[in-house]
Structure 1
Amino acid sequence: MSIAPKDTDWVSLARKSLKGECLTVEEGIAVLDADNDEVLPLLHAAYLVRRHFYGNKVKLNMIINAKSGLCPEDCGYCSQSIRSSASIPKYSLLDKETLLAGAQEAMARQAGTYCIVASGKGPTNHELEQVIDAVKEIRATLPLKICACLGILKEGQAERLAEAGVHRYNHNLNTSRDNYPSITTTHTYDQRVETVEKARTSGMSPCSGVIIGMGESHQDIVGMAFALRELDADSIPVNFLNAIPGTPMEGVSRTTSMRALKVLALFRLICPSKEIRVAGGREISLRSLQPLALYAANSIFVGDYLTTAGQDITNDHQMIEDLGFEIELNALQGGADRYELDGK
């Protein structure tokens, strides 16, 4: 059994992280095993690392569910999967005008990155063309970074997205290699790793993260953080399972707020310089403790997720302001204060 170090030892882990040294498996498990009364000292240590790389800036990202449902994959957590009976909207890829309107909404919400997400194993060539067409127009008219999340990419598709102006490609590992067969059987863990690597070699920034709460052990969670450190993912969304009725994981207990905070601290300490994003399920798992998450994470999604609602944007902006933190504009947006839907 791991013995969790006291607060002075959490700071020593932060110093180790800042020197570029990786935590050991035992140290990582100790973070997750920490008593709840150690969470504030643990978050202080994580904040020392976060502040070093990001100060008090918070990056905002917004998702558009560009294609919903109709997915042949059997991912047990997903309401869009063929295994799901959840009542969700189902539609093919949105037209360019709708994707452009979503980009304008992202600007109005002060998001620096607009994430175009489509269900399915991977894009057809026709779907890829539709996304590329929209991306080119967005890049020509708005100072937004674009992230695409379209599934497993075929040869040449990553290069085409990069050429069109997609800055980042997201493909989550979701869980550990050992736990992977228990959540998905229609594709492999290695296929996900290969897609992240294709994104990097094409020139896009690799984004890959996890879903916490799917039966994984502490060692699995530490292994996920190590795997993403090894993949050198620039952005790491940390999702917490939202056990949607109608999915195979319906009824799975929520990740508690204190456990969620420990997980975020762990990812900050193991991947110190990376964008750690509190992603799907933050409102359900963190509840009233959402502001504390930003002492470890430096990024959130604003608006709704794929098939579930997010927190009201006013509350997100207020949360950041009340912490004394500041929304980070990306380099494309420069010094602009705020973009309104009417362009003023």
Structure 2
Amino acid sequence: MARPEHRPAAAGLAQAALRRERPSRADLLSVLSWPDEGLLELVAAVGRVRRRFFGDRVKLNYLVNLKSGLCPEDCAYCSQRLGSTADIVTYTWLSAEQTRDAAACGVAGGAARVCLVASGRGPTDRDVARLAPAVARIKEDNPGVEVCACLGLLSPGQAERLREAGVDAYNHNLNTSGERYADICSTHGFADRVDTVRQARHAGLSPCSGLIAGMGESDEDLVGVLGDLRGLDPDSVPVNFLIPFDGTPLAGRWELTPQRCLRILAAARLVFPDSEVRLAGGREIHLRGLQPLALHLADSVFLGDYLTSEGGPGAEDLQMVRDAGFRVQGAEEAGAPPLRPDPVRLRRRGAGTGLPPNA
């Protein structure tokens, strides 16, 4: 099929991104509706942007779920939400030793960043204080590994205390555009999320904020949230694909295709040419066989499991990175020995860690 006259050339979009020029709304809408038969051309062109700023490196990240379930917020996409009947494990805070042991599994699998996540509206000051020993143990055992916290909405002064405790980054996703945020959550507002990301940046934490695709949003909504995120200038942008858990309001919503996911990632890369774009939750079930292509757009990926759902085996993730022609950042540089992903797989079964399943 011939390219419509109004559709920009993929090479032109990439050239503009290489100059760090912001794509127009029309250009992003065009990318999100790009025809399947021209998708490889789009990925190849936008992949040049990814390679210019990140080379052939893939950064691995690892989630540790510090506190699972029992959240008072009603985010429609979340299995831990208020009123959820999803079949998940619930538990209160892990100890510092349990957190260190769980983080060690991801680092052994090649993770350069450990993400410490806790359910809830936001941390109490006591929660912030209890995180400090865990962060200290992780950094003592793994020099150079980044620690990112994701604890919900922050109160004044908490971001500074997290920074003092050794936390490097703070994640708080916008998830969807401000215009439709009330459609997915009623217990807090879009402005609350924006404020938390800004607090993190002001305190010297690296801001991490992204989106969830597949919640019934339109192309215009996706362009909107990308614009909202651009306004916050995050250092890393996780792109999640909805896992429609049974027992949540979005159960049964399977609207994403692998091709749609690639278009969303291409749009994110054009908006954030030199920021970390991370393949996050739902990548395995929605991208399926096109995951290797996605690495030509994203430079970062979560290894192993997520919060309340299982990801792919760590060994398969590492093999996918290598087979796609990329190398794991840090772990395979400077003649480092090959990665040993077995601990990630052990952690998925809860073997030898003392943690609850999927903790």
Give the shorter-chain TM-score range. Answer: over 0.9
Counterpart contact for 2:117–2:151, Cα < 8 Å: yes
Counterpart contact for 1:243–1:254, Cα < 8 Å: no
* 1:16 aligned onto 2:8: no
The answer for the alignment partner of 1:102 in structure 2 is: 102
Within-5 A mapping of 1:280-299: 280-299=281-300
Q: Structure 2 regions of 5+ residues with no counterpart?
A: 344-359
Give the stretch that moved more between structures: 138-147 or 314-323. Answer: 138-147
Structure 1 pair 57/281, CA: closer, same or farther in 2 (3 Å)?
A: same
The answer for the alignment partner of 1:318 in structure 2 is: 319
TM-score, normalization by structure 1 = 0.95
The answer for the alignment partner of 1:150 in structure 2 is: 151
Task: Name the CA distance, whole Å, in 1 between partners of 2:81 and 2:71.
Answer: 5
Within-5 A mapping of 1:75-114: 75-114=75-114
Task: Name the CA distance, whole Å, in 2 between partners of 1:71 and 1:12.
Answer: 46
The answer for the alignment partner of 2:350 in structure 1 is: none
C-alpha deviations, 1:130-180, integer Å up to 9, x for none? Answer: 111211222222121100000001111000111111111000000011110
The answer for the alignment partner of 1:206 in structure 2 is: 207
C-alpha deviations, 1:29-48, integer Å up to 9, x for none? Answer: 00011111111011011101
Task: Name the aligned partner's letter for residue 206 of structure 2.
Answer: S
Task: Name the aligned partner's letter for residue 220 of structure 1.
Answer: D
The answer for the alignment partner of 2:32 in structure 1 is: 32
In the TM superposition, what is the alpha-carbon distance from 1:334 to its structure 2 partner?
8.0
Task: Name the aligned partner's letter for residue 52 of structure 1.
Answer: R
Within-5 A mapping of 1:1-344: 3=4, 9-143=9-143, 144-329=145-330, 336-337=336-337
Task: Name the aligned partner's letter for residue 21 of structure 1.
Answer: E
Structure 1 pair 257/5, CA: closer, same or farther in 2 (3 Å)?
A: farther
> How many residue pairs were aligned?
339
Task: Name the CA distance, whole Å, in 2 between partners of 1:60 and 1:42.
Answer: 25
Task: Name the CA distance, whole Å, in 2 between partners of 1:84 and 1:4.
Answer: 47
Structure 1 pair 120/319, CA: closer, same or farther in 2 (3 Å)?
A: same
Task: Name the CA distance, whole Å, in 1 between partners of 2:341 and 2:47.
Answer: 34
Task: Name the CA distance, whole Å, in 2 between partners of 1:338 and 1:124.
Answer: 41
C-alpha deviations, 1:297-319, integer Å up to 9, x for none? Answer: 01100010000000111110110
Give the stretch that moved more between structures: 131-140 or 162-171. Answer: 131-140
Task: Name the CA distance, whole Å, in 2 between partners of 1:55 and 1:227.
Answer: 27
Task: Name the CA distance, whole Å, in 2 between partners of 1:206 and 1:337.
Answer: 32
Task: Name the CA distance, whole Å, in 2 between partners of 1:148 and 1:340.
Answer: 25
Task: Name the CA distance, whole Å, in 2 between partners of 1:334 and 1:190.
Answer: 44
In the TM superposition, what is the alpha-carbon distance from 1:83 to its structure 2 partner?
2.5
* Alpha-carbon RMSD: 2.0
Q: Percent identity?
A: 47
SS in 2 for 1:178: helix
Task: Name the aligned partner's letter for residue 300 of structure 1.
Answer: V
Task: Name the CA distance, whole Å, in 1 between partners of 2:19 and 2:73.
Answer: 41
Give the stretch that moved more between structures: 132-141 or 158-167. Answer: 132-141
Counterpart contact for 1:85–1:247, Cα < 8 Å: yes
SS in 2 for 1:15: helix
In the TM superposition, what is the alpha-carbon distance from 1:3 to its structure 2 partner?
4.7
Structure 1 pair 335/178, CA: closer, same or farther in 2 (3 Å)?
A: farther
Structure 1 pair 308/161, CA: closer, same or farther in 2 (3 Å)?
A: same
Task: Name the aligned partner's letter for residue 65 of structure 2.
Answer: N
Task: Name the aligned partner's letter for residue 56 of structure 1.
Answer: D
Task: Name the aligned partner's letter for residue 129 of structure 1.
Answer: A
Counterpart contact for 1:116–1:146, Cα < 8 Å: yes
Task: Name the CA distance, whole Å, in 1 between partners of 2:80 and 2:5.
Answer: 39
SS in 1 for 2:301: strand
C-alpha deviations, 1:20-63, integer Å up to 9, x for none? Answer: 21111000000011111111011011101000000111000000
In the TM superposition, what is the alpha-carbon distance from 1:340 to its structure 2 partner?
6.3
In the TM superposition, what is the alpha-carbon distance from 1:4 to its structure 2 partner?
7.5
In the TM superposition, what is the alpha-carbon distance from 1:342 to its structure 2 partner?
12
TM-score, normalization by structure 2 = 0.91
Structure 1 pair 17/178, CA: closer, same or farther in 2 (3 Å)?
A: same
Task: Name the CA distance, whole Å, in 1 between partners of 2:167 and 2:230.
Answer: 23
SS in 1 for 2:290: helix
In the TM superposition, what is the alpha-carbon distance from 1:337 to its structure 2 partner?
3.9
SS in 2 for 1:286: helix
In the TM superposition, what is the alpha-carbon distance from 1:290 to its structure 2 partner?
0.8
Structure 1 pair 35/111, CA: closer, same or farther in 2 (3 Å)?
A: same
Counterpart contact for 1:108–1:338, Cα < 8 Å: no
Which segments of structure 1 move beyond 6 Å, counting only runs of 4 or more? 339-343
Task: Name the aligned partner's letter for residue 53 of structure 1.
Answer: F
Q: Structure 1 regions of 5+ residues with no counterpart?
A: none
